[in-house]
């Protein structure tokens, strides 16, 4: 799974890198080196200018909450269990298939964290887990494949500004051998030349799934980091510092 990642790019940098035409970021997010489920995150989406417009979709930057709440959900707390969507079943699951059809996004990240079960045991007799940070070797942005939904809060008035909740999930796949030794799953990356067709809501689900492939061997690097990242309240660039293991 992908349950924690880092995102420190500014909205201005993301607008330039992803060729965004319209930013809907009213209040920039602080750089976050320990993004956890239910936090607000940046997402790149393609959407029509308005519901009635016949203009082609426009590239937008938005702030979404991590943990997808399906449009049909009665209780938004379901989002805390919808942080990942498995590529193998995303087209079949009721929670994700409608979003896959027309609401796809890119979730920009510096990299993500995974935990490796070591041979050392805790006092409870369970393997101690060592966190690793996994990022592009070239230091570039990791564009994770995601889905988003817009949930209407039935308790809010029709004119309430917060009546719609925008949420998202990360699509995951089997990790290749060089990363699978750390964890058997990883987020799917979308390469820049595939951003357009992936985001375009007019692309059909069967076509877009063919755009998703695991990272090429050697594209990502992984190194151990401090266990301080285990605590969600901890934040800062020091969480990404390589840790020397004995």
Q: Does residue 34 lie within any of the structural domains?
A: yes
* pLDDT at res. 206: 82
Tokens 């390469």 — which residue? Answer: 191
**pLDDT digit string (tens) for 196-246?**
999 999 998 888 988 887 777 788 999 999 999 999 999 999 999 999 865
- pLDDT tens across 88-139, in order? 999 999 999 999 999 999 999 999 999 998 989 888 889 999 999 999 999 9
| Selected catalytic residue, list 2, 105, 149, 168 | 2
Which of 12, 30, 105, 114 is catalytic? The answer is: 114
Count of structural domains within the chain: 1
Is 114 among the residues known to form the active site? yes
In a domain, 11, yes or no: yes
pLDDT at position 213: 77
Determine, yes or no, domain membership for 120. yes
Strands 127-136 and 220-224, sheet pairing: antiparallel
| Residue-number span of the structural domain to which 83 is assigned | 5-240
Task: Decide the pairing of beta strands 58-66 and 22-23.
Answer: parallel
Give catalytic status of residue 2 as yes or no.
yes
What's residue 26's pLDDT? Answer: 92
> Is 246 part of a structural domain of the chain?
no
CA distances from 41 to 27, 135, 143, 184, 209 (A): 12, 18, 13, 25, 23
Residue 174 lies in a domain: yes
CA distance 35 to 229: 10
pLDDT digit string, tens, across residues 36-81: 999 999 999 999 877 777 788 999 999 999 999 999 999 999 999 9
CATH number at residue 143: 3.90.1680.10
- pLDDT tens for residues 147-167? 999 999 998 888 888 899 999
| 183: confidence class by pLDDT, cuts 50, 70, 90 | confident
């Amino acid at each position: 799974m992908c349950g924690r990642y880092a995102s420190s790019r500014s909205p201005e940098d993301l607008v330039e890198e992803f060729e965004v035409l319209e930013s809907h970021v009213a209040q920039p997010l602080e750089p976050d080196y320990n993004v956890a489920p239910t936090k607000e995150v940046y997402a790149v989406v393609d959407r029509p200018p308005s519901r009635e417009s016949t203009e082609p979709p426009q590239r937008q930057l938005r702030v979404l909450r991590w943990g997808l709440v399906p449009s049909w959900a009665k209780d938004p707390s379901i989002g805390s269990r919808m942080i990942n969507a498995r590529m193998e079943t995303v087209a079949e699951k009721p929670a994700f298939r409608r979003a896959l059809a027309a609401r796809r996004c890119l979730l920009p990240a510096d990299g993500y964290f995974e935990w490796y079960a070591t041979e050392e045991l805790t006092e409870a007799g369970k393997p101690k887990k060592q966190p690793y940070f996994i990022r592009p070797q070239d230091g570039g942005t990791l564009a994770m494949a995601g889905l988003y939904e817009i949930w209407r809060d039935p308790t809010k008035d029709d004119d309430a500004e917060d009546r719609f909740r925008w949420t998202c999930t990360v699509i995951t796949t089997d990790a290749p051998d060089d990363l699978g030794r750390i964890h058997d799953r990883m987020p799917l990356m979308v390469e820049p030349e595939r951003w357009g067709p992936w985001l375009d809501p007019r692309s059909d689900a069967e076509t877009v799934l063919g755009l998703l492939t695991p990272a090429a061997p050697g594209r990502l690097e992984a190194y151990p980091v401090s266990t301080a990242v285990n605590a969600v309240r901890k934040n800062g660039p020091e969480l990404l510092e390589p840790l020397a293991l004995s």
